[in-house]
């Protein structure tokens, strides 16, 4: 089979408020692999940025038993160890001759200078470690105690500024599974344990990619003051977040909760979307996916605690939107039977906000998913 680039790891991408990263600050990310290949390259995005950003001193190495293995490989850009990324643009590293195999983990370390943008859900509010994100120099998890984490009753997410995706040069057949989701997928409570299941069941056969964003809506743009956390409607970001990755042939659609429960609030001042609006957006996602030979697998809308304003209407809209999801996409996965006991989350499955999953709820959801149905393998 002809060699080609496929995307083996994609970090969640978000618009940014332009968080400053002090000169010399190191960011780190561990990337699990489920593909065989002979070379890798990295992509960094400043698409949502307002100012040019600079990265330098990036290196890759393998991890073994949670520790960094010897033999760091420099990441270069047109032969240089430094790259300037103008606002609204993306850069790609040179190919790095690094043989990779399923089950390995790659560690990325880089130094940020000038204006940096964290790209990952609410994580920018919790970037407290002097070493960057929530990992120390040995990639060991660090304790989290930012105020927002306490308020939300959930952990925040590690971030690596500007990192978009890792591509691998391979000749092996491979399935790329891209998730178009919101914070419920981006936070990884169900996505990470499901990825672990898929990688163990199908070594070397599939990669699970997440371009999740916190609080994202399918149909609505968030208010300008909150774009750094919530961003534009998913119908606007699907091209850069899903279709730009190499080798995607399966799309997991996991959206809709914020269209129902956050519209007509301080975050989305738009009126509640109509069924016609939601149907049009779903049909657009389906048509654009099919035009690229991508099969769609859609989740019904995750449960959430509705606000008091128009509560009855929101519950009715969720039912109507779920019917649209069932009729529009290729395959449907029902969330309620897995997560709910009657009309409420099962005990221990939900965070205090009544919407997001706990680790217990996420693992239960991941364990209940049909591997073959979701992956197509």
Assess whether pLDDT exceeds 60 at residue 268.
yes
Top pLDDT among 95 and 49 is at 95
DSSP H helical ranges for the chain: 147-152, 183-186, 191-201, 234-238, 257-261, 275-291, 311-328, 336-339, 359-368, 371-375
Segment holding 91, helix H or strand E: strand 90-92
* Whole-Å CA distances, 66 to 105, 106, 134: 9, 11, 15
Assess whether pLDDT exceeds 80 at residue 159.
no
**Average pLDDT score over residue span 235-243:** 90
Cβ burial of 10 (10 Å; 0-12, 13-18, 19+) is buried
**Average pLDDT score over residue span 277-303:** 97
Assess whether pLDDT exceeds 80 at residue 228.
no
pLDDT value of position 155 = 47
CA distance 177 to 9: 10
Half-sphere exposure of residue 65: CA atoms within 13 angstroms, side-chain side: 1
* Residue 256, number of CB atoms within 10 A of its CB: 29
Assess whether pLDDT exceeds 90 at residue 332.
yes
CA distance 360 to 303: 16
pLDDT value of position 131 = 37
Task: Give the CA dihedral 196, 45, 110, 199, nearest 10 degrees.
Answer: 10
CA distance 200 to 196: 6
pLDDT value of position 366 = 97
Assess whether pLDDT exceeds 70 at residue 222.
yes
Top pLDDT among 240 and 1 is at 240
Tens of pLDDT, residues 50-108? 677 788 888 898 988 777 788 889 999 999 999 988 888 889 999 999 999 999 988 88
């Amino acid at each position: 089979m002809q060699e080609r680039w496929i995307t083996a790891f994609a970090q969640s991408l978000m618009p940014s408020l332009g968080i400053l990263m002090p000169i010399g600050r190191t960011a780190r990310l561990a990337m699990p692999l489920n593909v065989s290949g002979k070379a890798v390259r990295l992509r960094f995005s400043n698409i949502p940025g307002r100012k040019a950003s600079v990265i330098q001193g990036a290196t890759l190495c393998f991890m073994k038993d949670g520790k960094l293995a010897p033999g760091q490989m420099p990441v270069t850009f047109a032969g240089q160890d430094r790259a300037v990324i103008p606002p609204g643009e993306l850069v790609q590293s040179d190919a790095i001759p690094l043989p990779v195999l399923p089950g390995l983990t790659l560690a990325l370390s880089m130094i940020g200078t000038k204006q940096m943008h964290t790209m990952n859900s609410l994580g920018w509010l919790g970037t407290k470690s002097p070493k960057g994100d929530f990992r120390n120099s040995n990639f060991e998890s660090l304790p989290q105690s930012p105020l927002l984490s306490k308020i939300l009753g959930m952990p925040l997410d590690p971030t690596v500024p500007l990192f978009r995706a890792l591509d691998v040069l391979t000749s092996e057949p491979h399935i790329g599974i891209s998730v178009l989701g919101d914070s419920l997928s981006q936070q990884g409570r169900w996505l990470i344990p499901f990825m672990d299941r898929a990688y163990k069941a199908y070594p070397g056969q599939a990669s699970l990619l997440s371009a999740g964003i916190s609080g994202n809506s399918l149909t609505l743009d968030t208010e300008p003051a909150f774009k750094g956390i919530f961003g534009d409607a998913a119908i606007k970001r699907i091209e850069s977040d899903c279709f730009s990755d190499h080798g995607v042939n399966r799309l997991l659609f996991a959206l809709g909760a914020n269209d129902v429960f956050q519209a007509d609030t301080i975050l989305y001042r738009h009126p509640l979307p109509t069924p016609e609006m939601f149907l049009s957006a779903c049909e657009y996602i389906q048509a654009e996916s099919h035009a690229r030979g991508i099969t769609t697998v859609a989740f019904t809308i995750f449960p959430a605690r509705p606000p008091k304003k128009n509560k009855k209407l929101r519950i009715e809209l969720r039912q109507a939107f779920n019917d649209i999801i069932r009729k529009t996409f290729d395959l449907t996965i029902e969330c309620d039977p897995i997560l709910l006991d009657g009309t409420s989350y099962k005990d221990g499955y939900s965070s205090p906000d009544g919407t997001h999953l706990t680790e217990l709820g996420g693992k239960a959801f991941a364990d209940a998913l049909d591997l073959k149905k979701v992956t197509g393998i």
